[in-house]
Amino acid sequence: MAADEIAFAGAARQAEMVRGGEVSPTELVGLHLERIERLDPQLNSFRVVFAEKAMLEAEQAEARIKGGDERPLLGVPIAIKDEVDVVGEINTHGTDAFTEPARADSEVVRRLREAGAIIVGLTLLPELAICGFTESATYGVTRNPWNPQRTPAGSSGGSAAAVAAGLVPIASAGDGAGSIRLPASSCGLFGIKPQRGRVSNAPALEHWNGLAVQGCVSRSVLDSALWLDVISGGSKEQGAPPPPERPFVESAKTAPGKLRVATSTLAPRAVAPPIVGDAVKGAVADAAALLSSLGHDVSRHDPDWGRVGDNITARFLRGVAETVAEVPQPERLERRTRGFGRLGGLLPDAIFERAQKGREEDARRINAIFDDHDVLVTPVMGGTALPVRRWEGRGALYTVLGMSRFYPFCVPWNHLGNPAMSIPLGFAEDGMPLAVQIIGRPESEPLLFSLAAQIESTRPWADNRPPIS
């Protein structure tokens, strides 16, 4: 098999190839390290690459294979978003305001290592994972491999750019306001935000007061299902869901049956009127036609958003303010990041507490759509990937207003906790990837994986490769 075919095969297929002796871990890791060295200068997706250490671990994986080891990701190279603790490494969170190396792996990293994965590097993000674009004063601009003048979105933009360009088959991603789904949509990848509490945030109990969850961006539904099987469980968050009845990989291999599908392009309003472009409206209409052709009952039905935007804004700003307050050397933060902290700090405690308490009523009202429908289809964001430096030099208030208008569709499901996924659905006239978001009722990841796999088999996307590759 040609090197490019191996690089774009995806994590599940690469693991299969390693087990079958089609490729060795040293060959696989070496291939991806060569691609990183050659292509990442154009993208700036990695903060640091562990070339020597990754090759040593690949040699160890080969010895384990000879001993009969069959771990699910044995010998597969992966990348970790630089907001997750990796022992001995400074977790920079996209800034130079941290100086202490992590004393231990996070729970997610520990589980990935136990599964045999080999970490080849840490991917970039905006400062403190706040923004929907991956740019920082410390590490520069991360670019979209489909068009270097466009952003891969954020905050998991480095991971998405790396996977889309075939630098790694899969990479970790975190989602506090769409940070898995927005980069997946922008880069033509699959990304699912799991149910709140599905994955442990340890060593933290929760992040951004429960808005943030851990997951990945990948080339295929099966890849993400395998990743979630590996990392899920062990959460101590209040209301953490029970384990699924069967592995997510099995759900991804099972037909979903006939579903009741609602579609909507109505966005909730936060602090400014939302932007919903014709291209993403067209993607939702395309998804509706596709799902109808697959035998599902499809109808237009808008969620009862109410004033959910008020509660979302309060929770987001308070979470950002608390994150800024925890930075050991805040004077090193960008002016805009410090401004985000001040904005959140101005929020009265009473408004934040009301927003926290309002989540239950918001969930009752909005999730009522699932009384008569199994899933909801919406846009992921207001258009295709934005130009890089869209908000360069702008202050915190201007930036948050702009992001709330262009990225209104994802964050409600962080607020409520429901699982939600971004599924590639072709390309817009500007040549950039299009996607739709599909949301399920609480704890419905098995159904989402099943439906996503059905869509993928009908409209495969994994073979789409950006020009940079």
Residues noted as catalytic: 81, 155, 179
Number of Cβ atoms within 10 Å of the Cβ of 293: 10
> Strand, coil or helix: what is 245?
coil
With b for 16 or more beta-carbon neighbours within 10 A and e for fewer, the 163-195 pattern comes to bbbbbbbbbbbbbbbbbbbbbbbbbbbbbbbbb
Dist CA 419 CA 195 (whole Å): 4
The pair of structure tokens assigned to 17 is: 């190839």
Q: Provide the CA 342 distance to its chain's centre, in angstroms.
A: 27
Sign of CA dihedral 44, 49, 51, 52: positive
Residue with tokens 């607020």: 415
Query: For 367, which DSSP code?
Result: G
Residue with tokens 């290592």: 113
Dist CA 393 CA 153 (whole Å): 17
From start to end of 142-186, where are the E strands?
170-175
Dist CA 339 CA 345 (whole Å): 10
